[in-house]
Amino acid sequence: MAMGVGMSEEGMRPVTELSRTEAVAEWADLVQAVLAANQAYHRDDAPTISDADYDRMKRRLAALEAAFPDIEATMNQQSPTSMVGAAPADGFGKVAHRLRMLSLENAFSDEEVTEFDERVRRFLGLTDAVAYTAEPKIDGLSLSLRYEAGRLVQAATRGDGELGENVTENARTIRDIPQSLTNAPAVLEVRGEVYMSHADFSALNQRQAAAEEKTFANPRNAAAGSLRQLDASITASRPLRFFAYAWGEVSDPLATTQAAAIARLNTLGFQTNPLTMLCAGPEEMLAHYRRIENQRATLGYDIDGVVYKVNDLALQARLGFRSSTPRWAIAHKFPAELAWTELLGIDIQVGRTGALSPVARLQPVTVGGVVVSNATLHNENYIAGRDSKGNVIRDGKDIRVGDWVQVYRAGDVIPKVADVDLDRRKIGAEPYVFPQVCPECGSPAHREAGDSVRRCTGGLICPAQAVERLKHFVSRNAFDIEGLGAKQVELFFKDTLLPVKTPADIFTLAARDAANPLQKLKNRDGFGDVSTAKLFAAIEAKRTIPLDRLLFSLGIRHVGEVAAGLLARHYSTWSAFEAAITHATPGSPEWADLTAIDGVGAVMAQSLVEAFQNPAERAAMDALVAELQVQPVVARGAVDSPVAGKTVVFTGTLEKMTRAEAKARAEALGAKVAGSVSAKTDLVVAGPGAGSKAKDAERLGVELIDEDSWLRLIGE
């Protein structure tokens, strides 16, 4: 299973031990979890998981993708490892970044930094040292400023990296952002971080509290909340600052090195970080990291690590990008922050798939400047001192109510319990007994073999599962019904006059309301003519829904957005899908057809079949579909390039670039790079010394070209 929110990494099976089916299922789950976290963080400014958990999920995804390199391509879904952030919030105009705004790969140890340098040199085929800049990683939000003819014409947030929000008017109110530049390139996009100093942050919170307005959890949230005000005069009243550290489109290069380019930005009038240093290699980079770490507490603003960038811009260009991060930079993160406090109790929350998640209720404690009173305890094993595979963690120490526990936070709102102090354990403290029945519906809660998560077996009869399923159903990537969010769903779920217990009930809401002459929805508190009409119209608008969205919305375990897309493109219509899954028992032709979809394994197939065989689930789906017009989905077209969709094999010695560089270029152009030649290969690019693969190509009649012809073909 996938590493759910807050689960420990120690518990994960090494990716090399996973079957492809398991890897794909885990990948699909993780993609969902990361996408949801992205939305919460970037779009809603309301993180739902800690940075450390997020980083761990992304690392696991990256590990899965490294071990099964074709996962992303075969699932036909972009992995969050190759995306940045979330789509922009409503309310601001959208801006398409001419050059994507990227994210950074993370390193958490000295070794990972050394490995980064080795990777860079290997990619470039260099044995000599490479120089890097090292500078603080500012904990704020990134902003791109476009200057044309020296005038600030547009400011945009990162958004999902491709589409950001137009916050030009707000940015104009920031003192550190020049309105005009002299001696600048005709077109210049300056990128950097908007942040708030500690002093300004606490003063702002005091003002907010005095005015009985919302206070902010930390300076980053305050900066994000202040920049993304629809009323720019509010932004103007907030003390925001800006450091420039990168650039996007430029009509003339700023310089030939990173360090000189930053110096040039400084000359142009931007604040650049005074702790930026040029380093001759990993040793100096790590020494500068320690220096910055030592100054961290006295800087007066939040930083969460150190960013290293290849200094030579020509080398940066050769290194290029992975799907969402540059190969020429890495963020070396600081370790998370810790505090000790008392565990007052353990609550159990029941999720959409029935997972019972233990939550620690804590004596409130400040961890890295934020007051924490809840933390995740992951699962039953974790409380007992075991990882999800049953191996001993924390020296086997279990966690009991009343214990002193160490709380760990990596910059975000859902912290974790990391350790327990046995010396302070109270006499008579009893081991925690994990409930064997669902606290919400009383159904037995089971653990499947090899799964560390106990799940309620109540399915849709469990109110907690049912309501979480509804929340998923209306969520942004599912039905996304305006005016019907998680809060409203909870209210309707409990409503006695107009109850919504299953998705189909949403689509009968208007008719039921019309049929009830007494208590009309529009006469209730919080509704009214306009909002009721709007809600009903929004529901009507979603009666027509594409098959892939519908499949995702059903909330079937293991069927995330990626899988929903695969299934929809394979079956195209609801009736074909429904007929197939209804008959797909293991061994049947339908089962063989289902599991033959690249990216659909036995785990997902089983989960689909079980959902269709469960009478309550089936009834809910049938009732829903009866209310809808499901739009068929057709397969996608390919990227526009001469090699898009082609399978290419490189063999022999390449002379103009390393194999890694060639592969990266080809993939960026939409080609699939394979390791061996088969009848499916479209093209073999052979350098000197090509052996059996070139022969295979001839034998199979596959087109064979040399490196120069390849470069001509791709227009280099």
Beta bridge partners of 573: none
Nearer to ligand IVH, 326 or 411 (CB): 326
Nearer to ligand IVH, 325 or 532 (CB): 325
Q: Which two tokens stand for residue 700?
A: 């199979």
Give 438's contacts (C-beta < 8 A, 6+ positions apart): 350, 354, 356, 444, 445, 456, 457, 458, 462, 464
Nearer to ligand IVH, 3 or 104 (CB): 104
Nearer to ligand IVH, 78 or 208 (CB): 78
Nearer to ligand IVH, 277 or 307 (CB): 307
Annotated catalytic residue, options 58, 137, 333, 471: 137
Residue type, 652: G
H or E stretch at 344 = strand 337-350
**Minimal distance in Å, beta carbon 273 to ligand IVH?**
7
**Could you say which DSSP state residue 568 is in?**
H
Beta carbons of 142 and 157 less than 8 angstroms apart: yes
In the complex, the residues that contact ligand IVH under the rule CB under 6 A are 102-104, 135, 137-138, 142, 193, 245-246, 307, 326, 329, 331
Give 454's contacts (C-beta < 8 A, 6+ positions apart): 355, 356, 379, 380, 434, 435, 436, 445, 446, 447
- Residues listed for the chain: 716
Of 188, 133, 99, 102, residue with least CA distance to 313: 133
Beta carbons of 336 and 111 less than 8 angstroms apart: no
**Minimal distance in Å, beta carbon 626 to ligand IVH?**
46
Helices (H), 542-584: 547-553, 561-571, 574-583
Q: What is the 3-state secondary structure (H, E, C) of 285-331?
A: HHHHHHHHHHHHHHCCCCEEEEEEEECEHHHHHHHCECCCCECCEEE
Beta carbons of 132 and 309 less than 8 angstroms apart: yes
Nearer to ligand IVH, 245 or 473 (CB): 245
**Minimal distance in Å, beta carbon 418 to ligand IVH?**
23
The C-alpha angle 338, 209, 486, rounded to 5 degrees, equals 75
Quick one: CA dihedral 47, 53, 57, 62, positive or negative?
A: positive
Q: Which residue is nearest to ligand IVH (CB)?
A: 142
Give 537's contacts (C-beta < 8 A, 6+ positions apart): none
Of 93, 97, 78, 96, residue with least CA distance to 35: 78
**Minimal distance in Å, beta carbon 136 to ligand IVH?**
6
**Minimal distance in Å, beta carbon 669 to ligand IVH?**
21
**Minimal distance in Å, beta carbon 142 to ligand IVH?**
3
Nearer to ligand IVH, 102 or 504 (CB): 102
Nearer to ligand IVH, 104 or 130 (CB): 104
Count the neighbouring beta carbons within 10 Å of the beta carbon of residue 676. Answer: 10
H or E stretch at 632 = none
Nearer to ligand IVH, 60 or 309 (CB): 309
Count the neighbouring beta carbons within 10 Å of the beta carbon of residue 660. Answer: 16
**Minimal distance in Å, beta carbon 633 to ligand IVH?**
33
Beta bridge partners of 96: 163
**Minimal distance in Å, beta carbon 288 to ligand IVH?**
13
Is 137 an annotated catalytic residue? yes
**Minimal distance in Å, beta carbon 318 to ligand IVH?**
15
Nearer to ligand IVH, 331 or 383 (CB): 331
Of 159, 181, 157, residue with least CA distance to 168: 157
Query: Any idea which residue has 């990596």 for tokens?
Result: 410
Q: What's the gap between Cα 369 and its chain centre?
A: 25
d(CA 387, CA 362): 22
**Minimal distance in Å, beta carbon 274 to ligand IVH?**
12
Count the neighbouring beta carbons within 10 Å of the beta carbon of residue 385. Answer: 17
**Active-site annotation, residues:** 137
